[in-house]
Every structure is written in structure tokens, then in C-alpha cells.
Copies of this chain bind each other. A is one copy, B any other.
Amino acid sequence: MQTLHQFQNAFEQYLQENRFEWHPKELYEPANYILSIGGKRLRPVVLLVAHYLFDDDFKRSLPAAAAVEVFHNFTLVHDDIMDAAPLRRGLPTVHHKYGLNAGILSGDVMLVLAYDQLLKTQSPLNGEILSAFTRMAIEVCEGQQMDMNFEQQSDVKIEEYLEMITLKTAVLVATALKMGALIGGASAEDAAHLYEFGKNLGIAFQLQDDILDAFGDPKKVGKKAGGDIAQNKKTFLYLKALEKAPTELADNLKRFFAGTTQIDEETKITEVLSIFRVLGVEEWANDLKEQYWKLSLNSLGKVKTRPGRGQILEKFAEALMNRDF
């Protein structure tokens, strides 16, 4: 039985062996840089695991795994420009290190390089895999646009928020699972169940992320509490609070998130968190997260994997939700 770390290691080795060492270096160095500052490789690992559920030779899925990781990093590079973010994982973002134009262009080439990797996949279902990837890539752009729209939009609905995180975050996890499954020889039905598993897991994960950002232990989460509040992010917590709050309190909240109040950030975070607590939005968020978590496990339970392999994704999902991965 493979452990998650073995998938991770196989993937890191593939990335190392497939660095972008071409000319001109100004184009490829930023791509290698963002890929080297790494993270946990969740998306490629989950793709490889999905393959392994149906077939031992998961290394056949390494190019597809690289495609999703390179694609994900392309979105980080361009999102960081759009968010004017100076840092990512404690290091300078690509456009801060190399300039705006390098950020745009190396992001562009990474999107193409993701397809380049994907085209290395040997599978009779290549057409279907490419279509799934392309649909996902379109949806991720749509999610990012919705996220940007929300900054200007005062009447964001909870359903719209859920649609946004589905598109921006969850469909990539879902599609990674589907791709790995198809390359591994899964039936269309099992691939669809894994897609649903990944989609709902992705939504649960994002809701968890919203909760931890506000109420988590900063030591465990690795960033200080209230970052979303400081940035006026209209997360589920904020939208649910608006829904539950009496008019006056709701108006207060709106003022805080309009960014027009004169108070300092610390005070604002403290005030907003106390409103969140009074209204009990953490519980609402936890309930909703649990719903998506159960939906995801339900889909996973329907997948006919090879004997003895059904547990590996459940363990992965649990580790993910507990931030132990």
C-alpha cells in the first residue's frame, strides 16, 4: 500500500526532472520559482491517488498531475497580480520579484505548459480528459471573476458565494480526481463519483478555511486571525452574519466591510469577530461544512475501487480537513 508521502515524493521527483530549462530564461525562471516554493501538492497527489484506486501504475498519471499543479500555480501568479499581493508563502510573489510583465507572461506560458504536460498522457480517453481540464480551467476563471465582482457588489447571496468557491477552488480538486481516475481506467460512473467527492470536499475545505481564518488557532493555521476580515472578504461568515443580524448590526457590519470606517485593523477584526460570535455564524458555517463533508463521503462510498484501496482517499480527506496533511 502506498502512503500519501510516496505519491508526494514521486510527484516532486517528476517536477524536478521536468523543470523548464528553456530559452529565454526570463520567461521560464519565474515559472520554476513559483513551482519551487511549493506547498503540499494537494491537487497532483489526489490525482495520483485517484489513479491508484484502479491501477498500480499511477506514474502514468504524472504528466496529468503536473498539468494540474502547473495550472494551479499559473492561477496563483495571475491572482497575486489581481490582488496586488506582495507575498505568497512568506516569499515575494512573482510580479513583485520579477515585475508585472514577467508575471503576466510567465503565467501565460504556464497555462500552455499545463496543456503541454497533459498532452503527454497516454490514454484512450485523452479527448475526454482534455475536455474535462478545459471546462475546469474556464470555470476557475469564472470563479476568479465572481470573486472580483463581489468586492464591488453589496448584495452577494450565499448561493452566489457557494457557486464562486465551487468554481474558483472545488472544481480543480474534482477534475484532478476525475482525470486520475480516467487515466487509471475507472468507469465513467466511478470517475463521476470521484468528481462529486472532490467538488464537495473542496467546498467543505474552503468553508473550513473561512472558519479557521476567523476563529482558528493562529499557531496551527500559520497566519494571524482575521485576515479575511482585514481584507473585507465577503466569506460565508460575513454573508450569514448579514442574513442573521438585526438591521442596525447589519449596517454596522456593512460599514466595516465597505472599508470606509476610520478605525484601525486590530479593532475592526475584534469588533467583527464579536459580532460573528454573537450571531453564532461559526456554528452555521460548521453545519454547512459538515453537510458538504457528508456529501463528499457519500459519493466516495459509491466508488468501486480495487480491494483494500477504498480507505486511502477517505484518510486523505480527513487529513486535509484536520490540516494534518
Instruction: Say if the beta carbon of A138 comes within 8 Å of chain B.
Output: yes
Q: Is the CB of B78 within 8 A of A141?
A: no
Task: Give the chain B neighbours of A42 by CB distance below 8 A.
Answer: none
Q: Is the CB of A105 within 8 A of B144?
A: yes
Residue from B81, B101, B119, B138 in contact with A134 in the complex, judged by beta carbons closer than 8 Å: B119
Instruction: Say if the beta carbon of A39 comes within 8 Å of chain B.
Output: no
Complex CA–CA separation, A135 to B112 (angstroms): 9
Q: Is the CB of B130 within 8 A of A112?
A: no
Q: Is the CB of A24 within 8 A of B145?
A: yes
Q: Is the CB of B119 within 8 A of A131?
A: yes
Instruction: Say if the beta carbon of A115 comes within 8 Å of chain B.
Output: yes
Whose C-beta in chain B lies nearest to the C-beta of A116? Answer: B134
Whose C-beta in chain B lies nearest to the C-beta of A131? Answer: B119
Instruction: Say if the beta carbon of A297 comes within 8 Å of chain B.
Output: no
Interface size of A by CB at 8 A reads: 36
Q: Is the CB of B24 within 8 A of A149?
A: yes
Instruction: Say if the beta carbon of A127 comes within 8 Å of chain B.
Output: yes
Task: Give the chain B neighbours of A104 by CB distance below 8 A.
Answer: 78, 81-82, 104
Task: Give the chain B neighbours of A314 by CB distance below 8 A.
Answer: none
Q: Is the CB of A141 within 8 A of B82?
A: no
Q: Is the CB of A138 within 8 A of B112?
A: yes
- Given A22-B142, A24-B142, A116-B134, do A82 and B111 touch, yes or no (CB 8 Å)? no
Residues of A within 8 A of B (CB): 22-24, 26-27, 78, 81-82, 100-101, 104-105, 107-109, 111-113, 115-116, 119, 126-127, 130-131, 134-135, 137-138, 141-142, 144-146, 148-149
30 contacts between A and B (CB under 8 A): A22-B142, A23-B142, A24-B142, A24-B146, A24-B149, A26-B145, A26-B148, A26-B149, A27-B141, A27-B145, A78-B105, A81-B104, A82-B100, A82-B104, A104-B104, A105-B148, A108-B111, A108-B141, A109-B138, A109-B141, A112-B134, A113-B138, A115-B115, A115-B130, A116-B134, A116-B138, A119-B127, A119-B130, A119-B131, A126-B127
A-B pairs, 6 with minimum CB distance: A109-B141, A27-B145, A112-B137, A82-B101, A24-B145, A115-B134
Give me 10 other A-B pairs in contact (C-beta within 8 A), A24-B145, A112-B141 excluded. A23-B142, A26-B145, A78-B105, A105-B145, A108-B141, A109-B138, A115-B130, A115-B137, A116-B135, A119-B134
